[in-house]
Amino acid sequence: MISDPLTLLQCCPTGDGAAAVIVVNDKLRKRLALPTVEICGSVLHSGTPTSGFRNMLRPEITRHSAREAFEQAGIGPQDVDVVELHDAFSIAELVYYEALGLCEDGESASFLASGHSTFGGSVVVNPSGGLLSKGHPVGCSGVAQIVELYWQLTGQAGRRQVPDARIGMTHVTGGGIAQLDHGACAIHILKVLDEI
């Protein structure tokens, strides 16, 4: 037991790691002639101080960030094929299904149980295994999510490949302290480009 009801294997380990993403302009992209994805939405929000009771099952920072990212991208949650979300604890994936708009409030357990969040469902969530399976190298977890989406959207994810993935979303958040709905939240929406 770590913190009732969470046990050791329901909490991701922190550790070391590295990831890199190269962002280029359109001219260089065409010259490189590599599979490419476009950043359609990119949002970073800082936490808002709160006082009194805060419902940790309704992370407002993620809800606001997701709405803004979808608006920037001109799409909705139903258009996303693959998501890499911040599942530092087993309960987090269910909480973020709702906060990201993948399902309605109160429906995350049935969304999971019905297979909507896996291969063959409406969206594949954390095909990489997420933080619970690979650990949480805090400084690079968000970049590692972008790398996973690049592989997914360009058909390079091997056995984890989401068939016909065209649009992906990353979500990373953290720095939670008393009277703050997380220190920050970053959401990115990526789309594969058809032409090189």
Neighbours of 20 (CB within 10 A): 9
pLDDT digits (tens, 9 = 90+) for 65-86: 999 999 999 999 999 999 999 9
What DSSP letter does each residue of 137-186 carry, written as one string? -TTTHHHHHHHHHHHHHTT--GGGPPTT--EEEEEEEE--BTTBS-SEEE
Share of the chain above pLDDT 90, in %: 64
Q: How confident is the model at residue 48 (pLDDT cuts 50, 70, 90)?
A: confident
pLDDT at 196 over 80: no
pLDDT digits (tens, 9 = 90+) for 154-180: 999 999 999 999 999 999 998 777 667
Map out the domains of the chain with their CATH numbers: 13-192 (3.40.47.10)
Q: Round to whole Å and give the CA distance between 69 and 172.
A: 13
Q: Residue 135: its pLDDT value, please?
A: 85
Mean pLDDT of 124-143: 90
pLDDT at 140 over 70: yes
Determine phi and psi for 155, rounding to 5 degrees: 70, 30
Share of the chain above pLDDT 70, in %: 96
Query: Which amino acid is located at 104 in the chain?
Result: E
Q: Residue 26: its pLDDT value, please?
A: 87
Mean pLDDT of 48-63: 81
Q: What's the whole-number average pLDDT of the chain?
A: 91
Q: Residue 94: its pLDDT value, please?
A: 96
Q: Round to whole Å and give the CA distance between 146 and 149.
A: 5
Residue 108 in 3-state DSSP? helix
129: CB partners within 8 A, 6+ apart: none
Q: Residue 116: its pLDDT value, please?
A: 97
Tokens 């950043």 locate to: 39
